Structure 1
Amino acid sequence: MNMHKSFRLSAVAMALYSAFGGTAWAQEMDELDELIKPESKVSVGIGVWSKDRAQQGIYDGMREGDKAFWLLDADIVKRDEVTGTWMTLKTDSLGVDGSRSLQGEYLRQGDIGIKLEYNRITRESPQTFNTPLQGAGTTKQTVVNTGLDTAPRRDLTLGTLREQTSLGLYKNLLPGLDLNINYQHEEKTGTRAWSPGHSVHFVTEPVDSTTRQIETALSYTTKKWQLRGGYNGSWYKNNNPLVRVGYTGAGSVTNPTYLSFPGDNEAHQFFLNGGYNFTPTTRATLKLEYARAIQDDSLPTNGVTDWPSEHQRAVGPDKLDGKVDTRLVHLGLTSRPFKNFSLNASLRYHDVEDKTPIRTYSTAGAAYNATSPDYVRNSYTTVTSKLEGTYRFAKVYSFTAGVEDKRQDRDRPLRVTGAEKEIVVPLRSQVDETTGRLELRRSLSDVANGRISYLHSRRSGNRYKRALWDHSDDVGLGGLQDIRNLTNPLHMAGRDRDRLRLSVDWSPSEALSFQFSAEEGRDDYDNQATMTHGLDKGTNRLYSIDAVYTVSDELKLTAWYSYDQNKAEQSHYRTHTTGGSGGGFGDPAVKYTDLQDTGNSLGLGLRWEFTSRLNFGADLEWFRSVSKYGQDVSPLAAGGVAVFPTQANLSLGVPDIENKLLRLSLFSTYAIDKSADVRFDFIHERWKTDDWTWQFADGSPFVYGANANVDGTTVYTKPKQVSNFFSVRYIYKFQ
């Protein structure tokens, strides 16, 4: 490598010396030397947001207004040309108490490399919770009955913190043989909004977990062979396995409630990836994987001593003993048997075998294995084959045709009732999907390039197996016991899918260029006469255009716009009450839902080199999204007409949700001298929403419960947030 560069530079030097003499030769050598040496930067600055920005500051750690933030960044690169050794140090947002990173690397090309990295990732909830909850964020919390007990209230801002430390090692062992080892350790802490589940009470989830991952791989490369194999391992540990929630006063809930977390688990994977070049135009690839995931952590309730009397301790095993094996085999072949024709074929086998024992975790002191278990197996095998060919003609055109066939065999989840095994939900044991693809592409043109493609897929399978579900004890439910046998599951329902995609790159002149893309998609689900509930149809579309106009070497303008829309229509089974204080079940009905999400995005940009020392830049971003939830309910029985007598009463739609964001960014850089710049930034940010998730239509905040037997926690959110950001940085550059 060094010999090649020395020869190239010597040839350039001799040519310059012969043509222009020693002065030109020396000047050109200085310029080449500047290009070869990497540049390093260190910047120090300070910035402030004028007002709080809880929504847009979820991840960047700068949600508080009227507070100064240090801006410390560095990108240091050093290279020893004699040994080919690179040393880098890079930091991002080091002075902000939020998400930030620090990365250092030592690399001697073709020999050894070490990389150390630290990432801090924060997520702060945009809502504020005013609550009397005691012990928030701990494993022992107490819900206060505000109707019977007086306790101080306080504001809580919830959030999580992930701290990742990783170490990577690279070593060349022999010519063509490399070793890579990567280890990552992550600690995740914080609090999230939670609830006991049986009632509308506010509690917090105390997040405290540790995840460790390691990857070890050997890579071997020759002119013919490329192989990479090794081991991946992961270990997850939950440091808070159980949370005890107590209650004050004599409300509807007096005994403690226990809430559990995911148990400790681990996974181990062995893999081998490879490729072999038969000829310069024919190549085969191979991928082999075997993995085992294990969850054998003891149930956290084993140590509970004050279990509520009305909920007797479960009788059963003390742990799940979960075990899932995964196998993957992928074979691929690419070839160009003729000058203008290429072929791509692949075969993929993916098997997931759930070996977790089917056991009973009974309640109320029932005998072991006497009632339905809380866990059922879910194993499946998928075989995917693909064949695709491309033919090139007229020098700039190519036509591609391909087909992909996916066949899946699934276990039907079972439950155990005594000595009998029953189907839990109506599933297919076989799911088949075939996709065809056609594409026409134009390339290698200086003015216009583009492609248009069409995909059609058809998913089907064998007949559904009806669920055996006896719900005769639920008096008054009518046909509710058959609801499971009326549902068409999304992931295996019969479906026709069509996709049309178009993309064009157009440069009408040397200064102006456009990029345009469009995609239309339609899904049509096969809701059979016996499987009437689920998705019926769906559509999606995406259009985008980007433009770049270079006015001069000093002035450049950019613009982009995108539009996306997703729709889905589905039907649900529901019941409505017949009135009265008991609120009993009435006649069943079908609820039709028409969901729609529409987004518009616009961006404008300017880069202007005003003088040799002064640069300006501006970016304008605008975003608007609207989510619509159209709902209609139609009675299925004559008795239902009494509840919904007119068409006007059929509408149960909820208000639309609209989100808007406008961000204007202005910046300017002034070069003090060759090695130092000063940069000024200004950002104007406006965000607005009418999201009713945490507030009511009249703008009032959401409250946990509406009577005296609840804690009365109030959730506050600002539907409109406007803030301005000012910053100044000093940037030092060196080599």
Structure 2
Amino acid sequence: MLSLCRPAGRCRPTLLALALLAAFAPAWSHADTVTETSVSAGLGAVDGNRLDRAQFDQYSGLRPSQHVFGLFGLDYYRRNDDTGVAVRFGASDLLTDNRELGLHWARQGDWVFSADYKELVRRETVIFNSGITGVGSAAPVLLPVTPGTGSDLDLRTRREGVGLGFRKVISPSLQFELSGRTEHKTGSRLFGVGFACPSALAITCTGTNGIQTGSGVLFVPEPIDSDHNQVDARLSFAAEKLRLSFGYYGSFYQNSLGSLHPQIPGSLFNPTGTLLPVSSGLAGILGNPVALPPDNQAHQLDITGAYLYNARSTVNFKLSRTRATQNANFLAEGLSGAPAGVSDLGGRVDTTLAQVGFSTRPLAKLSVQGTLRYEDRDDKTPLALYNVEGTSFYTNRQLPYRTTKAKLQANYQFTSAWRGTLGFGRELIDRGVFTPTSATAGVTAERQKTAETTYRAELRRQMTEAFSGAVALEHSERSGSNWLRDNSGLGVTEVPDPNAPGIGFDRGIFMPTLADRRRDKVRLLADWQPLDKLSVQGALDVGIDRYQAPGVYGVRDTSMRQATVDFNYAITDAWNVNGFVAHGNQTIDQGRPDQAFLAFRNGETNVGLGLTGKATSKLELGANLSYLQDRATFVQALDTTASAADAALLAASGGLPPITFRQHVLRLSGKYTVDKKSSVRAEFAHYRTRWDDWAWNFNGTPFVFADGTVGTRKLVQHVNVLRVVYTYSWK
């Protein structure tokens, strides 16, 4: 693989790789050769300061201080009709931080070679002002500063990836494929540590009072310096009725940084903004090392195939075996305190997958498809006493997971216009035997097995004259085995009747993925063309989930509604207008601890209108206006057992305020064809964003960390972008 290796032996992709490959492309005679080349170059300009551009610059590939930027790209294609060899090389955004290059080189019916290089930079949309030093390292130093008097940080991550691929036709019935990809990721992203004293987990840690700070959330960005390499190889065989494919996939993740060791100051700000000494024990807790994603790898072997039983029936299958391991050494990663004799996790998960399916047409109007899928994830990670709670010790927990899925579907063509579908599905999940020496936290009980049955029916009308449409109904029900109460290191107790007196499940918390659930879904589709120049498409999806668990807490029901309509109208042969409207709504009703109930509502509206056309034979124009609103609301209530203090707080605050994101985007474009070889394209875009998020700004007050770091996101952001590009093509 083309790369630049550092002294440590880890390799990083380089921008020169694809340019070198293109330079060594074959030289052909001019006879029977077709060559097409185009080069695009131009300038762009963007206004606004850093706060105005925070949302726009998230993936723009521009530096926050950059107002003028260059644009350059090219496309090269050459084909020799005599030899059947063709090569294409393309490049875009070469003057920004989001560069992309691609090479495709092939001989028709013989071999194919491909390569690509991609960069992507992501920036945080929140601007942080902090006194921290060493951002991006594993040992940042936190220095408390008066909020707003520190330095502005640019938290960003950068991805650089190279991919190579090769395919060779060995014979008419045999083909080999090999591909690989390496990605290097660097930078830092939003992260933090926090703790509140006093706590049962730290008895010696004292709380906040007039002379000390006993709690706090600290700004500690996560450093990133990792590589992810992937390899995929496949040998395919094809006979008259049989298709076979043997494959290998490998994934290798390496992280240069094993843990994060923040250096905690001796003083922090208390909740009212006063700088006080850190309470006894708190600094040690906040300064504990934080494990970062460890090195890991996975290897998979598989065989897939299909057999054409006759002209109307086909059978297909897949069998694979995967082994994933994680054995990074604790001390080498900067982590201590492991159980005696344990140097690494020794993580190992073996996954076996077997799947078989069929498709048959027993009658001219009837077709039937079915699949049976079995997957067994066997967790073989060794057990050790990692967890300590007072004088009690618990091991980690093994998480085996076995699923069996069956699907059957029949389609019947009643007439040339009407088609019906009936489907049946069954899913069984077995989570294995609970590790008796482990303990769970946050939930009251668990389940080993769940089973879900799904029924589906659809009626579809094919396009006749001016209308086609479909209606689909789906119903599923999930239930499970008896609940298992955790006995904290002494196994579990099966609870046949969770509603029996004295069980204590009425105020328990149960995972919604394990609870009994009833799901109903409806989907409507329509395609209408009332005029030759007008077409309209629409869709409506409605779904409701109802959960039943022993306790009053947790998710009780959820719902979703999604409606979309889009149209296209040809005003004349030269001008076209199109648009769309989409609205979706999701709800979650759940009970919370301390007798609180929360109804979460999230609604999204998206509207767009566009116009394209040719003003003259050489001038093309376009305009597009779009609007997006995403609004999340939190309706809170208390039951009669809530405390007077909780009731007074809710009455005074009104509960959590909504979070709203709105964005207006106007785009104008024009393309002028100078001659057969050259053209000029101009694009203008205006972005207006409003983001009301009380997590970072509440009534004009920004969020302040205990070390004085301030997170700021401007409420309303305006950005204007202009791009002008000249393209020259020749053959």
- What interval of TM-score do these two structures reach, taking the shorter chain for normalisation? 0.7 to 0.9
Q: Which residue of 2 aligns with 1:356?
A: 381
Seen in structure 2, the aligned counterparts of structure 1 residues 401 and 481 have a Cα distance that, compared at 3 Å, is closer
How far off its partner does 1:40 sit?
4.7
Q: Which residue of 2 aligns with 1:627?
A: 632
Q: Which residue of 1 aligns with 2:702?
A: 701
- Matching residue within 298, 320, 324 for 1:267: 298
Q: Is 1:196 matched with 2:221?
A: no
Letter in 1 for 2:354: V
Q: Aligned to 1:649, what secondary structure does the other structure show?
A: helix
Map 1:157-556 to 2 at 5 A. Answer: 157-198=154-195, 199-249=216-266, 251-252=277-278, 253-255=282-284, 256-300=287-331, 315=340, 317-361=342-386, 371-373=393-395, 375-416=396-437, 426-469=445-488, 486-527=508-549, 530-556=550-576
Give the whole-Å Cα distance in 1 for the aligned partners of 2:72 and 2:260.
40
How far off its partner does 1:153 sit?
2.5
How far off its partner does 1:56 sit?
2.3
Q: Is 1:602 matched with 2:607?
A: yes
Q: Do 1:314 and 1:362's aligned partners in 2 also have CA atoms closer than 8 Å?
A: no
Letter in 2 for 1:672: V
Seen in structure 2, the aligned counterparts of structure 1 residues 87 and 425 have a Cα distance that, compared at 3 Å, is farther
Q: Which residue of 2 aligns with 1:475?
A: none
Seen in structure 2, the aligned counterparts of structure 1 residues 40 and 396 have a Cα distance that, compared at 3 Å, is farther
Letter in 2 for 1:462: S
Letter in 2 for 1:127: V
Bigger mean CA deviation after superposition, 380-389 or 315-324: 315-324
Q: Which residue of 2 aligns with 1:585?
A: none
Letter in 2 for 1:264: D
Give the whole-Å Cα distance in 1 for the aligned partners of 2:611 and 2:255.
49
Q: Do 1:426 and 1:485's aligned partners in 2 also have CA atoms closer than 8 Å?
A: no
Give the whole-Å Cα distance in 1 for the aligned partners of 2:219 and 2:104.
46
Give the whole-Å Cα distance in 1 for the aligned partners of 2:344 and 2:614.
67
How far off its partner does 1:651 sit?
7.6
Seen in structure 2, the aligned counterparts of structure 1 residues 275 and 425 have a Cα distance that, compared at 3 Å, is farther
Give the whole-Å Cα distance in 2 for the aligned partners of 1:509 and 1:364.
72
- Matching residue within 658, 671, 674 for 1:672: 674
Map 1:18-167 to 2 at 5 A. Answer: 40-52=37-49, 53-62=53-62, 64=64, 67-97=67-97, 99-146=98-145, 153-167=150-164
Give the whole-Å Cα distance in 1 for the aligned partners of 2:343 and 2:640.
47
Map 1:678-693 to 2 at 5 A. Answer: 678-693=680-695
Q: Which residue of 2 aligns with 1:581?
A: none
Letter in 1 for 2:481: N
Letter in 2 for 1:130: N
Give the whole-Å Cα distance in 1 for the aligned partners of 2:389 and 2:313.
66
Q: Do 2:633 and 2:657's aligned partners in 1 also have CA atoms closer than 8 Å?
A: yes
Q: Do 2:444 and 2:510's aligned partners in 1 also have CA atoms closer than 8 Å?
A: no
Q: Which residue of 2 aligns with 1:24?
A: none
Bigger mean CA deviation after superposition, 621-630 or 461-470: 461-470
- Identical counterparts, % of pairs: 30
Kindly provide the CA deviation profile for residues 249-277 of structure 1, in whole angstroms up to 9, marking residues without a partner as x.
Answer: 36324544322212111100011121111
Give the whole-Å Cα distance in 2 for the aligned partners of 1:508 and 1:162.
49
Greater C-alpha Rg: 1
Q: Do 1:485 and 1:531's aligned partners in 2 also have CA atoms closer than 8 Å?
A: yes
Q: Aligned to 1:466, what secondary structure does the other structure show?
A: strand
Q: Aligned to 1:245, what secondary structure does the other structure show?
A: coil
Seen in structure 2, the aligned counterparts of structure 1 residues 127 and 541 have a Cα distance that, compared at 3 Å, is same
Give the whole-Å Cα distance in 2 for the aligned partners of 1:627 and 1:507.
36
How far off its partner does 1:462 sit?
1.3
Letter in 1 for 2:171: L
Q: Which residue of 1 aligns with 2:199?
A: none
Kindly provide the CA deviation profile for residues 320-339 of structure 1, in whole angstroms up to 9, marking residues without a partner as x.
Answer: 10000111111100011111
Seen in structure 2, the aligned counterparts of structure 1 residues 254 and 595 have a Cα distance that, compared at 3 Å, is closer
Give the whole-Å Cα distance in 1 for the aligned partners of 2:514 and 2:530.
47
TM norm structure 2 = 0.84
Q: Do 1:242 and 1:301's aligned partners in 2 also have CA atoms closer than 8 Å?
A: no
How far off its partner does 1:734 sit?
3.0
Kindly provide the CA deviation profile for residues 443-463 of structure 1, in whole angstroms up to 9, marking residues without a partner as x.
Answer: 143422221100001011111
- Matching residue within 578, 585, 596 for 1:558: 578
Letter in 1 for 2:522: L
Give the whole-Å Cα distance in 2 for the aligned partners of 1:481 and 1:241.
44
How far off its partner does 1:345 sit?
1.1
Give the whole-Å Cα distance in 2 for the aligned partners of 1:495 and 1:421.
23
Letter in 2 for 1:271: D
Give the whole-Å Cα distance in 2 for the aligned partners of 1:345 and 1:365.
54
| Count of aligned positions | 652
Kindly provide the CA deviation profile for residues 616-659 of structure 1, in whole angstroms up to 9, marking residues without a partner as x.
Answer: 111111111110011223353xxx54435679739862111111
TM norm structure 1 = 0.84
Q: Is 1:718 matched with 2:719?
A: no
Q: Do 1:317 and 1:361's aligned partners in 2 also have CA atoms closer than 8 Å?
A: no
Letter in 2 for 1:117: D
Seen in structure 2, the aligned counterparts of structure 1 residues 42 and 422 have a Cα distance that, compared at 3 Å, is closer
How far off its partner does 1:413 sit?
3.6
Q: Which residue of 2 aligns with 1:9?
A: none
Q: Do 1:313 and 1:363's aligned partners in 2 also have CA atoms closer than 8 Å?
A: no
Seen in structure 2, the aligned counterparts of structure 1 residues 649 and 67 have a Cα distance that, compared at 3 Å, is closer
Q: Aligned to 1:57, what secondary structure does the other structure show?
A: helix
Q: Do 1:633 and 1:651's aligned partners in 2 also have CA atoms closer than 8 Å?
A: no
Q: Do 2:388 and 2:394's aligned partners in 1 also have CA atoms closer than 8 Å?
A: no
Bigger mean CA deviation after superposition, 405-414 or 451-460: 405-414
Q: Do 1:246 and 1:254's aligned partners in 2 also have CA atoms closer than 8 Å?
A: no
